[in-house]
A and B are shown apart, each in its own frame.
Chain A
Amino acid sequence: MLDIATLLGAGLLQAFEPLNLMMIFIGCLAGLFIGAMPGLGSVNGVAILLPVTFLVPPTAAIIFLAALYYGAMYGGAVSSITLGIPGASTAVATVFDGRPMAQQGKADQALTAAAVASFIGGTISVILFTLFAPPLAVFALKFGPQEEFALMVLAFATFIGLGGDDIPKTIFSILLGLVMAAVGFDIISGQPRLIFFDFVELQRGIGFLVLAIGIYGIGEMLWTLENSKGEVKIHAVRSTWKSFRKNLSHIRDYLPTTALGSALGFFVGTLPAAGATPASLMSYGLAKTFAKDPDSFGKGNVSGVAAPEAANNAASTGSMLPMITLGIPGSPTTAILLGGMIIWGLRPGPLLFTDRPDFVWGLIGSMYVANFVTVALNLALIPLFVRVLAMPFTILTPIIFILCFVGVFATTDRMFDVWLMLILGLGGYLMRKLNYPVAPAVLAIVLGPLAERSLRQSLISSRGDVMTFFERPISLTCMLLALALMIYPIWLGIRRRRAGTTSGAE
């Protein structure tokens, strides 16, 4: 314990060195803008700015890139809330409630919640990282295919079990997402499958951002246009010192979900397979399931913004853990960081903690500092971000459409995906019109490939015996929790109905 305190102290001191502090500041600021641009995520940002890091020592370099990664996590929420387009896959769940809040003129409140929740998520997660990194690395090793699959079932359960929604429609939406996730190459045999109409382009599968931008950028926009008969007015927000203080006072409302989301996000982030996107979606699902007012989610509940934002920041810290201790990146962005480490002559693996404590603890120290810097920058920039909403709707809507096109083309570089996005957007609009929830389909396309791979690996390994999921303690626990989550809303519904009939009888 004392060891950790000493090492952390040294790490913090290192983070406060002028060069490193400057790196944190520039990294956070650059990340914030990169994350806020649809189609330009943390992956591109880190890849493009990697060369800049060769001018400074390795510790300063990784501090810079980690700060950039952090900043991008915060920044993703900005476009999710102000424009309704997820800036990155990790910020999809933030759209669910962030966009309705912006439409109600509460964009500044949503942005404040996102910033504060991200800060709490990042901080809780870096504390957990500091205290438990080595034992957690051992735990991550216990996660085989069976455990991964059980975790995915748990993630799906958080979405099926949402009280209030129409359960058959939710299941339909999940299945639709799973079918789309299956398009492309079979992950075990490598054969092409579900290539609709023999489009060769479909062999590459349906990209997650193509679906998310289509559904949220195009579909939701069409729906809003129709609903408002063209007279939508997104309320411009005046951001003042008074409104800022008022927004901060809302923390109490979302503190519990934020704490839960932080712990969950960190844990899911440490698992090499998962990453920040599933973490944020699971956190959103859990927040909704256990909320007192689940019906208000998706309509502008501030907890619905805080939960996924806390989780994605926590997960981005968490995903550093398998990278450092096992040499396996937990996310595409950490994969690029890993490349950087190899160039700097650092071999990630079980020995890095003991061989290069200056590097590891310098990084950890910087995470604490980066959190403070990002939250401060973010809160300071909120008045700038909400300016976007002051634009007349007739100007803002075309801009959003254009950003959708550019965002998709920038990520995949193919016109085919732009058309696909338009078609999926129209599909999303129809689903929305027919009252089908679209979020579960988005969840399914993220988790589908992960779930399929781990399911098939497990079944190959057990030679087809399904009991393998119930014979291993961690997997069994996840499965039971998933079952409980699915039953809980039904039980709640029955109890409410019963309470309703008794009160009616009195």
Chain B
Amino acid sequence: MKYLKTLMAGALAVVVSAPVALADWQPRKPVEFIIMAGTGGGADQIARLLQGLIEQKGLSSRPFIPINKPGGSGAEALRYMQDKAGDDHTVMMTLNSFYTTPIIQEDLGVDVTKFTPIGLMAMDTFLLWVHTDRDDITDLDSYVAAVKAAGLDWKVGGTGSGQEDSVLTAMMEAAFDYEVTYIPFPGGGTVAKNLIGKQIDSTVNNPSEQLAFYEAGDSKPLVQFTGERMAAFPDVPTARELGIDIEYYMQRSVNGPPGMSAEAVEFYTNLFQTLFDSAEWQEFCVSDGLTCDGMLNGADLAAFHASQVEAHKKLIAQVGAGAITGE
């Protein structure tokens, strides 16, 4: 018992002495850090890194507890946040399904422009990946040829239907005039593993999801869907260089439920700004191919969300919701 007491006293001392950012409002209980995707994926890795940095730097008097709610392509998480309206102790790490899922599932009753914007941490990027053993595929042309030869036997793995992976896959189907079989998995990490295990033929994983396998020589990127080549992948051409008009990013922003109090918004905005400016976060951005040029917040982020919702509405109308959900 004495040990336990010492431990508790020690833990208490840590909590009390932790340098806390000066702000009037402080969380009064643990903060739920919702992740609208499964474990091991890009959003999950980022949220867990941020959570760790919050604890390490003592930015919050109460811990942030990451909770994955991947159900229904993020619908579960969105509904959860909607039901938490007015709550000051819940924030969510979002991805593009933040926009697409409410558009595709109209009866969900969620309007994300009503959510409380906190901070845009990064824009994540997409690459086209195949297994290294595919010697026949060396560039985009040979990839397209292989897919066309395989037809519907070509299996593309990605996150939930209606999520960004399926949007990008549908864009590629439209651009190259082929059709593939799209298999949804619960998170980007599982998608990556299934590519390495050859359960699927290609993926559009984010860099952070494939990096460990790429470094081990198990997978290779063919194209990057960015405006310019990333520092982490200097030898991989962009789609635009190859004359394909696809440029697609994934937003990684933190948002609160609708109607969060102004004091809490200020606290969280300051907290994530501190994280954004930290050396650890900026290093992670470089190594994982994220674009982190400055954190959008408040009205700027709200405007960004509104424009992204419109852009995704157009995109979905263009390729058809059916092409994305596979129905």
Contacts and interface: CB of A to CB of B under 8 A. Distances in A.
Nearest to A462: B181
Given A54-B56, A190-B105, A205-B71, A351 B162 contact: no
A190 B101 contact: yes
Contacts of A461: 155, 181, 183, 199-200
A20 B65 CA distance: 26
B294 interface: no
Given A187-B71, A204-B76, A461-B183, A44 B65 contact: yes
A54 B55 CA distance: 8
Interface string B1-42: 001100100010010000000000000001000000001100
A441 interface: no
Contacts of A272: 190, 193
A342 B45 contact: yes
B72 A192 contact: yes
A337 B137 CA distance: 36
Given A144-B197, A335-B40, A51 B49 contact: no
Interface residues of B, number: 66
Nearest to A337: B48
A47 interface: yes
Given A339-B52, A342-B52, A453 B186 contact: yes
A191 B105 contact: yes
- Classify the secondary structure of B's interface with A: helix
Contacts of B79: 200, 203-204
Contact of A184 (B76, B152, B193): B76
A340 interface: yes
B194 interface: yes
A184 B69 CA distance: 12
B259 interface: no
Contacts, number: 171
Interface stretch (B210-218, B227-235, B310-318): B210-218
B292 to A, nearest CB: 16
A189 B197 contact: no
Interface string B130-162: 000000000000000000000010010000111
A338 interface: yes
A338 B325 CA distance: 31
B152 A52 contact: no
Interface residues of A, number: 56
A26 B7 CA distance: 8
A350 B76 contact: no
B65 A47 contact: yes
Nearest to A185: B72
A356 interface: no
Interface in B168-192: 181-186, 189-190, 192
Interface in A309-360: 322, 326-329, 332, 335-336, 338-340, 342-343, 347-351
Contacts of A340: 48, 52
Nearest to B184: A188
B98 to A, nearest CB: 13
Given A141-B196, A338-B39, A190 B48 contact: no
B147 to A, nearest CB: 15
A135 to B, nearest CB: 14
Contact of B189 (A25, A189, A204, A327): A327
A177 interface: no
Given A54-B56, A335-B68, A192 B107 contact: yes
Interface in A269-316: 272
Contacts of A47: 63, 65-66
Nearest to A145: B199
Given A55-B14, A349-B213, A144 B52 contact: no
6 contacts: A47-B66, A54-B56, A141-B196, A188-B160, A189-B72, A342-B52
Given A51-B56, A145-B183, A335-B44, 11 more contacts: A189-B325, A190-B71, A201-B83, A205-B76, A332-B39, A338-B48, A343-B52, A343-B56, A347-B211, A350-B212, A463-B181
